[in-house]
C-alpha cells in the first residue's frame, strides 16, 4: 500500500509536469506569471488556467460580441489571487457592459402580450422608401419636440392594412422617447383584455391603473377584440376618460378606420348600443390625430 506521502509526491510530480508542459507555450507562461501568483499555487490549477488563457486569447482577438467564442457569451473567465488558492470569476467584458448600458433605456418600455423584438424598432430603420410614412414620421418629430410642453401633444390613431408596419412605427417612436427617459406601455389590446379578465381575483386593479396612468400608451390592434359591454364600458371607456382628462398621450393602431371602429364597438353579445360606442369614439378623437397607412404587407 502506498503511503500518503508517496501519493502526494506522485501527484506533485504530475502537477509539476503538466504545468511545465503547459508552459512550453510561451504566451501561456507569460499569462500565468503575469498574475503574480506563486508557482506552487499556479501548478494546482493548470487545466483551468489553460481555459482562462483560451478565453483571454479569444478576447484579445475579439471581432465583436456576436462572434464571442467564450463559454459564456460576453464573459471572461478570470483568475484572481486568493492567497493560497486561485479564485476564478466570470466577468462581463467591456463590450458586453457597453451593450448592457446601451440597452438600459429599454426598461422604460413595458410590453403586454407583444413580441420582445419590438423593443428594437428604431427611427433609423423605419422604411423611408414608402412616401406614405413621411407625414407620420413628421408627426413623430413634432410629437417629440412638443412632448415637454405644458399641454402634451396628441397621440395618433393609425389605421391601415395588415402588415403595413403600423405597430413598428409607433414602437419606434416609443423607443426614441424611452431613450429620453419616458416610460411607455405597448399593449396588444385583444390579448390584454383576456389577461385582464383572468386577473379578476388577483392584480386586476394594479394592471388597470398602471395602464390608465402610464405616460405613453399604445393600444395595438384595437377593433380586433371580441367587444363586450365589459371591455367597452368598464375597461376602454374609463381608461380613455382618465387619459383625456389628464392629457396623457395615447396611441392606437387598427385595421379599422375610426368609423368602422365605431360600428364594431356598438355591437356586443348583449345587443347594440350606438351611444356608448359614440362616446368611446369621441374620446379617441379627442386624444388623437388620425393617420392612415396602407402599404404592402411586410410580414414574412
C-beta nearest to Mg ion: residue: 167
If binding is defined by CB under 6 A, does position 3 make contact with ligand ADP? no
Query: CA-to-CA distance for 57 and 60, rounded, in angstroms?
Result: 5
Angle between helix 46-60 and 26-33 (nearest 10)? 100
Nearer of residues 164 and 250 to ligand ADP, judged by Cβ: 164
For residues 202-261, which are near ligand ADP according to CB under 6 A? 253
Stretch that binds ligand ADP, among 3-11, 101-109, 156-164, 233-241 (CB under 6 A): 156-164
Residue with grid cell 509526491, as numbered in its chain: 9
- How many residues sit in the footprint of ligand ADP (CB under 6 A)? 13
Contact (Cβ atoms closer than 8 angstroms) between residue 266 and residue 273? yes
Q: Which is nearer to ligand ADP, 70 or 254 (CB)?
A: 254
**CA gap 192, 208 in Å, rounded:** 10
298 part of the interface to ligand ADP, by CB under 6 A: yes
Alpha-carbon distance 192 to 219, whole Å?
A: 9
Q: Considering only residues 153-172, where is the footprint of Mg ion by CB under 5 A? A: 167
Q: CB under 5 to 8 A by kind: which of Mg ion, ligand ADP, none does 76 bind?
A: none
28 binds, among ligand ADP, Mg ion, none (CB under 5 to 8 A by kind): none
User: Kind of pairing, strands 267-268 and 271-272?
Assistant: antiparallel
Decide whether 93 or 171 has the Cβ nearer to Mg ion. 171
Q: How many residues bind Mg ion (CB under 5 A)?
A: 1
> HSE-up of 46 (CA within 13 Å, CB side)?
15
- Alpha-carbon gap, residue 267 to 43, rounded angstroms: 79
Of residues 108 through 127, those in contact with ligand ADP by CB under 6 A are 125-127
**Contact residues for Mg ion (CB under 5 A)?**
167
Amino acid at each position: 500500500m502506498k503511503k500518503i506521502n508517496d501519493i502526494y509526491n506522485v501527484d506533485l510530480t504530475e502537477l509539476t509536469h503538466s504545468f511545465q508542459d503547459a508552459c512550453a507555450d510561451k504566451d501561456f507562461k507569460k499569462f500565468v506569471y503575469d498574475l503574480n501568483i506563486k508557482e506552487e499555487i499556479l501548478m494546482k490549477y493548470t487545466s483551468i488556467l489553460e481555459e482562462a488563457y483560451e478565453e483571454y486569447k479569444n478576447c484579445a482577438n475579439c471581432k465583436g460580441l456576436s462572434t464571442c467564442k467564450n463559454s459564456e457569451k460576453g464573459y471572461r473567465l478570470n483568475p484572481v489571487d486568493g492567497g493560497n488558492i486561485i479564485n476564478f470569476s466570470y466577468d462581463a467584458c467591456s463590450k458586453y457592459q457597453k451593450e448592457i448600458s446601451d440597452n438600459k433605456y429599454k426598461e422604460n418600455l413595458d410590453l403586454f402580450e407583444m413580441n420582445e423584438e419590438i423593443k428594437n424598432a428604431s427611427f433609423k430603420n423605419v422604411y423611408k422608401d414608402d412616401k406614405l410614412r413621411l407625414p407620420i414620421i413628421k408627426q413623430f418629430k413634432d410629437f417629440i419636440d412638443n412632448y415637454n410642453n405644458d399641454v402634451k401633444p396628441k397621440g395618433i390613431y393609425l389605421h391601415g392594412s395588415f402588415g403595413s408596419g403600423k405597430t413598428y412605427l409607433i414602437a419606434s417612436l416609443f423607443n426614441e422617447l424611452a431613450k429620453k427617459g419616458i416610460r411607455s406601455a405597448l399593449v396588444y389590446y385583444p390579448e390584454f383584455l383576456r389577461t385582464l379578465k383572468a386577473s379578476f381575483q388577483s392584480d386586476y386593479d394594479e394592471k388597470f391603473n398602471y395602464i390608465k396612468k402610464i405616460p405613453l400608451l399604445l393600444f395595438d390592434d384595437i377593433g380586433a377584440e371580441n367587444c363586450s359591454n365589459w371591455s367597452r364600458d368598464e375597461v376602454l371607456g374609463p381608461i380613455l376618460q382618465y387619459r383625456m382628462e389628464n392629457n396623457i398621450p395615447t396611441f392606437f393602431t387598427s385595421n379599422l378606420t375610426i368609423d368602422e371602429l365605431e360600428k364594431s364597438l356598438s355591437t356586443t353579445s348583449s345587443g347594440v348600443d350606438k351611444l356608448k360606442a359614440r362616446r368611446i369614439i369621441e374620446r379617441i378623437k379627442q386624444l388623437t390625430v388620425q393617420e392612415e397607412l396602407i402599404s404592402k404587407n411586410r410580414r414574412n
